[in-house]
């Protein structure tokens, strides 16, 4: 009960319009509730992201695609693919789906926010599960929408460059995820920059895919790996594309605290949403930005 009362005190500080009873109810709802609307939003959002990835990769790298002939430079196509993928995730983040769930769309992101004590364990586990299911559904959707794009690239299944060792792939995946998640954690730790987090993700995705797309494939997301791998039944590099991103995300979690020491001021994540909108409820803990209570808790207490 100590955790709930501590969370309730935190909620009351940042929601002065709430009574103590409402703050306690909100804290209990965050800790003990099953938040199926958020889980569903993660499922749909991840499906949209992975569907977009398959179609984008097919359009820019598939045999017979007109883009391959019109843009013969593979580096330019990697940059464009990364920007488009990042934009897809960014659009989900600023949509009602993303404003509700936070648009993690990536088990590595959810793990990082859990380590940063922004998520309760049951929500973190549920997010990962629904992200994996959403990724699988996204590949099926892409194959239905554009089979001529999905088939030539084998549903964008991740396969590293032949010359890379397993350790090299793990380290590359850890590095790109460290940069991506580090940008997210730092941006949401700044009241001034947090609204630009989707743009930061888009920029990082473009640059990281440019640098790493031809090496490890810029997975940086176990769900993005899982969807195509499950459909293609290709599990060979599971340790690389699951372990690498999880290591990279965990390694990025100390960055806000390190920046706090450098700047001599508190620098902690204000939210676990990539685009926080105060008109939406929040299942996350220790938010320092207001949110809207679930409808069933809006009665005055």
Write out the chain's pLDDT in tens, 301 residues: 447 877 788 788 877 778 888 888 888 999 998 999 999 999 999 999 999 999 999 999 999 899 999 999 999 999 999 999 999 999 999 999 999 999 999 999 999 999 999 999 999 999 999 999 999 999 999 999 999 999 999 999 999 999 999 999 999 999 999 999 999 999 999 999 999 999 999 999 999 999 999 999 999 999 999 999 999 999 999 999 999 999 999 999 999 999 888 877 778 899 999 999 999 999 999 878 888 888 877 654 4
Query: 210 near 96, Cβ under 8 Å?
Result: no
Q: What is the pLDDT of residue 195?
A: 96
Query: 181 near 248, Cβ under 8 Å?
Result: yes
Q: CA of 166: how far to CAs of 160, 163, 243, 244, 290, in Å?
A: 9, 10, 11, 10, 44
Residue 183, number of CB atoms within 10 A of its CB: 19
Sorted by where each begins, the domain ranges of the chain are: 33-293
Q: What is the pLDDT of residue 299?
A: 57
The tokens for 91 are 């659009």
pTM of the model: 0.95
Q: What is the pLDDT of residue 1?
A: 47
Q: What is the pLDDT of residue 5?
A: 78
202-236: b (≥16 Cβ within 10 Å) or e: bbbbbbbbbbbbebbbbbbbbbbbbbbbbbeebee
Q: What is the pLDDT of residue 3?
A: 73
Instruction: Indicate the CATH number for domain 33-293.
Output: 1.20.1080.10
Among candidate residues 119, 127, 131, 105, the one with its CA nearest the CA of residue 271: 119
Q: What is the pLDDT of residue 161?
A: 97
How far is Cα 19 from Cα 23, in angstroms, rounded to an integer? 6
């Amino acid at each position: 009960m100590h955790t709930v009362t501590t969370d309730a005190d935190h909620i009351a500080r940042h929601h002065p319009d709430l009574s103590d009873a409402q703050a306690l109810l909100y804290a209990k709802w965050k800790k003990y509730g099953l938040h199926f609307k958020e889980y569903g939003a993660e499922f749909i959002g991840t499906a949209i992201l992975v569907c977009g990835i398959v179609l984008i990769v097919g359009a820019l790298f598939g045999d017979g695609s007109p883009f391959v002939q019109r843009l013969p430079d593979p580096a330019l196509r990697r940059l464009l693919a990364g920007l488009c993928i990042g934009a897809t995730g960014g659009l989900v983040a600023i949509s009602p789906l993303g404003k509700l769930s936070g648009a993690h769309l990536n088990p590595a992101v959810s793990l990082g926010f859990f380590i940063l004590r922004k998520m309760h364990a049951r929500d973190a586990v549920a997010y990962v599960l629904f992200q994996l299911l959403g990724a699988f559904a996204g590949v099926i959707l892409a194959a239905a929408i554009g089979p001529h794009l999905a088939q030539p690239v084998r549903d964008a299944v991740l396969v590293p460059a032949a010359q890379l060792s397993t350790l090299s792939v793990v380290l590359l995946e850890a590095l790109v995820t460290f940069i991506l998640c580090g940008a997210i954690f730092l941006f949401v730790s700044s009241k001034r920059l947090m609204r630009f987090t989707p743009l930061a993700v888009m920029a990082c995705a473009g640059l990281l895919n440019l640098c790493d797309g031809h090496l490890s494939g810029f997975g940086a997301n176990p769900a993005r790996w899982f969807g195509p791998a499950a459909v293609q039944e290709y599990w060979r590099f599971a340790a690389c594309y699951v372990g690498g991103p999880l290591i990279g995300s965990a390694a990025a979690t100390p960055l806000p605290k390190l920046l706090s020491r450098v700047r001599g001021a508190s620098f902690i994540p204000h939210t676990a949403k990539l685009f926080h909108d105060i008109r939406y409820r929040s299942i996350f803990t220790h938010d320092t930005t207001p949110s809207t209570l679930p409808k069933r808790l809006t009665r005055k207490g």
